[in-house]
């Protein structure tokens, strides 16, 4: 018996050649389109790429340490670590100057500041110890309460505060109004009542701090 030899086809070697498109016989070009990112991720990447700028507080702290290296945090007052603070407009010095200009000879700005140092966000204040307020306003002597009441009446007259009588006296209940609105009304009703320079100063400062409710025509 004779043996017959069978031929076996050899397996083709596997290569890394790209699969071709049967229609064109060409390999597709490599993809160059970047994956689409969500807006949140895109913003995060953009922000991370930017060099971080030091905050204003950090820059000021560094400059302070250079100018006064011997001063420690214990020598300073910080509202974040110390109790007993209030919120006042950054234009308060300008408001006080205007009040003193209106109350010529009998300046009432110190009485006004004493009210702000006691009030909370309700703008309402109950005064049951008027002598204490008189002292905090800088008045002394036997007539300090009388002088203080006179200054408070001036503040009512020009519209900076409202007051209502109570068991403790004429000014037991006090409401502090928006000083910008008060000043704008005074300028509108009586343009010459406040010196132009003071009006321009508070209007300029208001722009610096972004106080849009203090747009006063100088």
Please give the tally of structural domains in the chain: 1
Q: Within a domain: residue 48?
A: no
Q: Within a domain: residue 31?
A: no
Q: Within a domain: residue 28?
A: no
Q: Residue 182 in contact with residue 155, Cβ under 8 Å? A: no
Q: Within a domain: residue 84?
A: no
* Sheet containing strand 161-166, strands side by side: 124-126, 169-176, 161-166
What distance in Å separates the CA atoms of residue 116 and residue 108, rounded to the nearest whole number? Answer: 13
Q: Within a domain: residue 192?
A: yes
Q: Within a domain: residue 23?
A: no
Q: Residue 105 in contact with residue 86, Cβ under 8 Å? A: no
Is the four-CA dihedral 33, 35, 40, 42 of positive or negative sign? negative
- Residues spanned by the domain of 116: 92-214
Q: Which two tokens stand for residue 166?
A: 């109570």
Residues 6 or more apart whose Cβ sits within 8 Å of residue 5: none
Q: What is the CATH number of the domain that holds 177?
A: 1.10.10
pTM, full prediction: 0.72
Tens place of pLDDT for every residue, the chain, 218 residues? 555 555 545 445 455 555 555 555 555 565 555 666 777 777 677 666 666 567 888 999 999 999 999 999 899 998 888 999 999 999 999 999 999 999 999 999 999 999 999 999 999 999 999 999 999 999 999 999 999 999 999 999 999 999 999 998 999 999 999 999 999 999 999 999 999 999 999 999 999 999 988 888 76
Model pLDDT for residues 35-65, shown as the tens digit of each residue: 667 777 776 776 666 665 678 889 999 999 9
Closest CA to 45 of 55, 58, 32, 35: 35
First and final C-alpha spacing in the chain: 126
Q: Within a domain: residue 117?
A: yes
What distance in Å separates the CA atoms of residue 158 and residue 151, rounded to the nearest whole number? Answer: 11
């Amino acid at each position: 018996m004779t043996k017959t030899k069978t031929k076996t086809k050899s397996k083709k070697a596997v290569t890394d050649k790209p699969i071709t498109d049967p229609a064109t016989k060409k390999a597709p070009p490599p993809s160059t389109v970047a994956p689409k990112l969500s807006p949140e991720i895109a913003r995060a990447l953009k922000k991370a790429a930017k060099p971080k700028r030091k905050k204003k507080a950090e820059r000021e702290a560094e400059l302070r340490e250079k100018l006064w290296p011997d001063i420690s945090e214990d020598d300073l007052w910080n509202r974040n670590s110390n109790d007993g603070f209030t919120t006042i407009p950054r234009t308060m010095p300008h408001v006080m100057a205007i009040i003193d200009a209106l109350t010529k000879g009998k300046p009432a700005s110190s009485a006004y500041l004493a009210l702000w140092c006691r009030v909370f966000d309700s703008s309402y204040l109950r005064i049951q110890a008027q002598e204490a307020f008189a002292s905090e306003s800088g008045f002394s002597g036997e007539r300090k309460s009388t002088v203080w009441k006179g200054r408070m009446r001036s503040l009512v007259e020009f519209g900076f505060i409202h007051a209502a009588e109570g068991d403790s006296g004429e000014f037991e209940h006090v409401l502090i109004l928006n000083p910008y609105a008060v000043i704008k009304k005074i300028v509108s009703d009586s343009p010459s009542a406040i010196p132009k320079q003071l009006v321009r100063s508070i209007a300029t400062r208001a722009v610096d701090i972004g106080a849009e409710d203090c747009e006063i025509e100088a």
